[in-house]
Structures are given as structure tokens and as C-alpha cells.
Amino acid sequence: PSTGYLRVPPSLLKQHNGRKGKDAWTVLGGRVYNITPYLPYHPGGVPELIRVAGRDGSKLFGEVHPWVNWEGMLEGCLIGMAVEEGERG
Ligand code: HEM
């Protein structure tokens, strides 16, 4: 069934690593966010934030600032759901 959201396997996520002009996607709590427009606003700076680009950022995020409400903050950046490789809607 279609949810209206993109279903993103790790291989697709990996392509959006924020490098060489590519946009930056990350996964937090199973949700996929395009964090490209947020990059310049991150209080911790671009280099830190780019570390989670192209991969699941949940663990690192939780280590640096578990109190930050990413779900509310990044609502407008939500583009999809993380799925296993080969999984289909
Ligand atoms: C600070 C958001 C990912 C490192 C902050 C703050 C927010 C934020 C709102 C201010 C928190 C406060 O003052 O209480 C986000 C979001 C992220 C993200 C939405 C992911 C999409 C990361 C990652 C790292 C990181 C992956 C490190 C690897 C930091 C640091 C600060 C900070 C070091 C402190 C900056 C300072 O106070 O000087 N971030 N962050 N952040 N963030 Fe992030």
C-alpha cells in the first residue's frame, strides 16, 4: 500500500551523503529526513551534522543531544521511511 512517503533502503540512503553537491539525508527513529536545508542552521555546525548524512543517525544523535526534539524540528524535512534492502511497499 502507498503511504505517500518514499520507502528508503540503505543503498538509496547512502547515495545522499551530502558530498559532491549531493543532498544530505539521514534516518532518525526509522524516519528519513532530507536535512540539506537545515545544515546552515545547525547550532553544532555543518561538519558535525554531515556525519549522519547517508546513514542512520539515531545513535550519534542520541549521544550528543538526546533532549533535542528532532521529530518536531524536522517535520518539514520528512521525506520517507527507512526499509530493509529489497523491501517493497
Ligand atoms: C546542538 C539539532 C545532529 C552535534 C544542536 C542543537 C540543536 C541541534 C537544536 C541545540 C541544542 C541545545 O542548545 O540544547 C540537531 C539535529 C540533528 C543534529 C536536528 C540531526 C538532524 C547532530 C550530530 C552531531 C551534532 C550528528 C554530532 C555528531 C551538535 C553539537 C551541538 C549541537 C556539538 C552543540 C553546539 C553548541 O551548543 O555549541 N543540534 N543536531 N548534532 N549539535 Fe546537533
Q: How far apart are CA 26 and CA 23, in angstroms?
A: 10
CATH of 6-82, one of 3.10.120.10, 3.40.50.300, 3.30.70.100, 3.90.1170.50: 3.10.120.10
Q: What pTM value is reported for the model? A: 0.92
Interface ipTM > 0.90: yes
Domain locations in the chain?
Answer: 6-82
Residue 59: what pLDDT?
A: 98
Please work out whether the CB of residue 78 comes within 6 Å of at least one atom of ligand 1: no
| Model pLDDT for residues 31-49, shown as the tens digit of each residue | 999 999 999 999 999 999 9
Tens digit of each residue's pLDDT (9 = 90 or more) over 3-34: 678 999 999 999 999 999 999 999 999 999 99
Q: Which residue has the higher pLDDT, 1 or 69?
A: 69
Cα separation, 38 vs 4, whole angstroms: 22
Closest C-alpha residue for ligand 1 atom 10? 43
Q: Is the CB of 71 under 6 A from ligand 1?
A: no
User: How far away, in angstroms, is 30 Cα from ligand 1 center?
Assistant: 19
